[in-house]
Amino acid sequence: MAAPDVAEAARIFRLAFGTFMKAPDLARFRADIGMVETRFATEPELALVAETEGRVIGSILGMGWGSQLALGPLTVDPAFWGQGVARQLAGAFLDLPPVRPAGLVSLFTFPQSASHLRLYESFGFASHFLTSIMEKAPAARGEARLFSALDPSAREGALAQCRAIADAVLPGLDLTRQIAAVDAQRLGETVLVESAGEIAGFAVCHIGRGTEAGEGTLYVKAAMAPPGAAAEFERLLDGVESLAAARGLARITAGVNAARRDAYRRMTARGFRTYATGVAMQRPDVAGTLRPDAYVIDDWR
């Protein structure tokens, strides 16, 4: 994908998902969300397009999180569905130099779609637990500490501590590029919580129109506390809610996999409710971050 391809790839992204979900107004479906745009800006080396006669007809993007890489979204113009375009995109993506070394490749897809499941299974992906996409109205629960408010001299240390938290969840996991992208592109904020003077949890949040959140929404793209750190996870959720309330936002959206049982229970206990469901798939067939002791929010869409 090159910069001139982004607008058409974004249009096809909205058209493809809108068609699959039977949206009543395809022209306005997810018009407030900037997924293709922001992911290309963050990791252009993980963005590919499919073309025919010089025309973009589909795209695939990815997110490199150190030892884990997330594949998607993969979208194809509905006029070309059933012609093998998705298979070509997936195969080309998995053969990219930045993808091949990844120890774990993960994705989110539709559990009700046999064609989606067959496509990814043919590349060696295995289905795991369901992922709930949840929402709630925010409530003020104190004041959130934000990465953007740190002195420049303190930021590298904060990133190193966030990297250490991710590594404790899964060796080699690293979300610091996402934190930096949110800050540099002004996509939202990263919420931090501390324990004994050290960062003990972080939440990378997109906020508002033109981001992955959409109008009036805070979307928790990725958040985590160390394994077993239930209290820190609760404080992290408090910080996310406080940030959303302070910005006057109508809702918070976040994805959590059912394998992370306590994290899921704690989110439902504070009022998060599921409005969409996907299935997590991984290659190879290992648990990764999909474990009962993992206090992790993400959905890999």
Residues 229-268 have pLDDT tens digits of: 999 999 999 999 999 999 999 999 999 999 999 999 999 9
Taking 90 as the threshold, does the pLDDT of residue 61 lie above it? yes
Tens of pLDDT, residue by residue over 103-153, are: 999 999 999 999 999 999 999 999 999 999 999 999 988 888 999 999 999
Residue 122 within any structural domain of the chain: no
Tens of pLDDT, residue by residue over 90-100, are: 999 999 999 98
Verify that 154 and 238 share a domain, yes or no: yes
- The residues, ordered by sequence, that sit 6+ positions from 72 with a Cβ below 8 Å of its Cβ are 60, 61, 62, 107, 108, 109, 300, 301
Across all residues in the chain, what is the average pLDDT?
97
Residue 87 within any structural domain of the chain: yes
Contact (CB, 8 A) for 116 and 93: no
Verify that 164 and 57 share a domain, yes or no: no
Residue 116 within any structural domain of the chain: no
Residue 40 within any structural domain of the chain: yes
Verify that 146 and 263 share a domain, yes or no: yes
Tell me, what's the pLDDT at 142? Answer: 85
Considering Cα of 150, then 171, then 63, then 31, what sign does the dihedral take? negative
C-alpha 74: how far from chain center: 14
Averaged pLDDT for residues 20-40: 94
Averaged pLDDT for residues 86-91: 98
Averaged pLDDT for residues 197-212: 97
Tell me, what's the pLDDT at 224? Answer: 98
Q: Which of 44, 80, 33, 9 has its CA nearest to residue 177?
A: 44
Averaged pLDDT for residues 81-98: 97
Averaged pLDDT for residues 170-189: 97
Taking 90 as the threshold, does the pLDDT of residue 49 lie above it? yes
- What is the C-alpha to C-alpha distance for residues 141 and 34, in angstroms, rounded to an integer? 29
Tell me, what's the pLDDT at 100? Answer: 85
What's the CA angle centered on 47, arms 59 and 101, to 5 degrees?
A: 125
Residue 111 within any structural domain of the chain: no
Q: What is the CATH number of the domain that holds 174?
A: 3.40.630.30
Contact (CB, 8 A) for 185 and 205: no
- What is the C-alpha to C-alpha distance for residues 42 and 188, in angstroms, rounded to an integer? 14
Tell me, what's the pLDDT at 101? Answer: 85
- The residues, ordered by sequence, that sit 6+ positions from 293 with a Cβ below 8 Å of its Cβ are 227, 228, 262
**Overall number of domains in the chain:** 2
- The residues, ordered by sequence, that sit 6+ positions from 237 with a Cβ below 8 Å of its Cβ are 266, 267, 270
Q: Which residue segment(s) compose the domain that 67 sits in? A: 3-102
User: Per DSSP, what are the bridge partners of residue 283?
Assistant: 105
Taking 90 as the threshold, does the pLDDT of residue 168 lie above it? yes
Verify that 77 and 160 share a domain, yes or no: no
Q: Helix, strand or coil for residue 244?
A: helix
Verify that 164 and 208 share a domain, yes or no: yes
Averaged pLDDT for residues 221-227: 98
Residue 73 preceded by cis peptide, ω within 30: yes
Joined tokens for residue 280: 């997590």
